Amino acid sequence: MKRKYIPDLRKQTAQCEANYMRLMKLMPDMDEVDERCFYVSWPEHQARLRLEVEERFTYTTTLRVSQQHDHDSPWLDAPVLVVRLYHDATTAEVVCLRRSQLSGVYRYPNQQMYQPDEKVQLNQYLGEWLTHCLSHGHVMEPVFIG
């Protein structure tokens, strides 16, 4: 018998809190700067992660997180994530994938072929990219911490 997926809210909250802290380290001047690009290189190729502020409000900021590789895959597009930062709760969660609102849980199978825990996986994916940028990324413009 197939068991129903039940989200682990503690784990999800911890991931969103960690992503918030990573984003604040990568873009400490988020209130003044509209975008920042990070370049990450491997021996075979280079990738660019772009953080772009879409909306600023008192308690929330919405970012568009996109990536580009030096070689585009004919098979798979790089995801474009819309991430909402909740400053009062110090969390950042992926809310949209390519402008499609995400649910917390999906029935499987479904028309979009999302996994039952698609949103959790996207938040983990975001965390991995942000961690990689913190460890190995570099920016072309100076970062001012005020």
Residues 9 and 112: beta-carbon distance below 8 Å: no
The pLDDT, as a whole number, for residue 56 is 96
Return the pLDDT at 71: 65
Say if 17 falls within a structural domain.
yes
Model confidence over 47-96: pLDDT tens digits? Answer: 889 999 999 999 999 999 998 876 665 556 778 899 999 999 999 999 88
Note whether residue 61 is domain-resident. Answer: yes
Report if residue 72 sits inside a domain: yes
Give the span between the Cα atoms of 105 and 7, in whole angstroms: 8
What's the pLDDT at 40?
84
Give me the pLDDT at residue 25, please.
95
Q: pLDDT higher for 113 or 133? A: 133
Q: What would the pLDDT profile of 94-124 be if each residue is shown by its tens digit?
A: 988 765 666 666 566 767 666 667 788 889 9
Is 109 a member of any domain? Answer: yes
Is 62 within a domain? yes
* Alpha carbon distance 140, 146 (integer Å): 19
Half-sphere exposure (CA, 13 Å, Cβ side) for 81? Answer: 25
57 is a domain residue: yes
Supply the Cα-derived Rg of the chain in whole angstroms.
16
**pTM exceeding the 0.75 threshold for the entire prediction:** yes
Q: Which residue has the tokens 């491997």?
A: 42
- The whole domain housing 39 covers 9-136
- The letter for the amino acid at 73 is S
Q: How many domains does the chain have?
A: 1
Selection from 100, 62, 103, 108 nearest residue 79 by Cα: 100
Mean pLDDT value of segment 139-143: 67
In a domain, 81, yes or no: yes
Residue 38: Cβ-neighbour burial (10 angstroms; 0-12, 13-18, 19+):
buried
Q: What is the DSSP string of 89-142?
A: TTEEEEEEETTEEPPS---SS-TT---TTHHHHHHHHHHHHHHHHHHH-B-SS-
Residue 47 located in a structural domain? yes
